[in-house]
Amino acid sequence: MSHPATDDRQPTHTPAALIAFAWTLVGVPLAYGLYNTVKAASALFGG
């Protein structure tokens, strides 16, 4: 398979929306997990 050499490659631009979408996609489940864990952990402090 042939591919252009690195120097010949056309510059690109990563859309900020794609970066925001990607971070949201992983951030939302992580926030859900953190929220539930903090809720469980609060039992330790009488919460």
Partner 1 sequence: MAVPSFLARERIVARPGFNRWLIPPAALAVHLCIGQAYATSVYKASLVSHFESTLTAIGIIFSIAIVMLGLSAALFGTWVDRNGPRAAMFTSCVLWVTGFLVGGVGIEMRQLWLVYLGYGVIGGIGLGIGYISPVSTLIKWFPDRPGLATGMAIMGFGGGALIAAPLSRQLMSYYDPAYVPSDSTSVPNGEAVAALFFTLAALYLVFMMFGAFIVRVPANDWRPTGFDPASVKKKALVTTENVSANNAIKTPQFWLLWTVLFCNVTAGIGILEQASPMIQDFFRTGETSTVAAATAAGFVGVLSLFNMGGRFVWSSTSDFIGRKPIYMVYLGVGMLLYVILALFGSTASWIFVLTAAIIISFYGGGFATVPAYLRDLFGTYQVGAIHGRLLTAWAAAGVAGPLIVNGVLDTQGTPGQLVAANYRPALFIMVGLLAVGFIANLLIKPVSEKFWEPKATTPATARANPERSPVR
Binding string, residues 24-43; x marks residues near partner 1 by CB under 8 A:
-xx--xx-xxx-xxx-xxxx
Token digits of residue 26: 């992983």
Supply the minimum distance, in Å, between the C-beta of residue 14 and partner 1: 4
- Nearest C-alpha neighbor of 24 from the set 16, 12, 13: 16
Decide: is 17 part of the binding site for partner 1 (CB under 8 A). no
User: Distances from the Cα of 3 to the Cαs of 13, 14, 34, 37, in angstroms?
Assistant: 19, 21, 43, 47
Summarize as ranges the residues that interact with partner 1 (CB under 8 A).
1, 3, 6-7, 9-14, 18-19, 22-23, 25-26, 29-30, 32-34, 36-38, 40-45
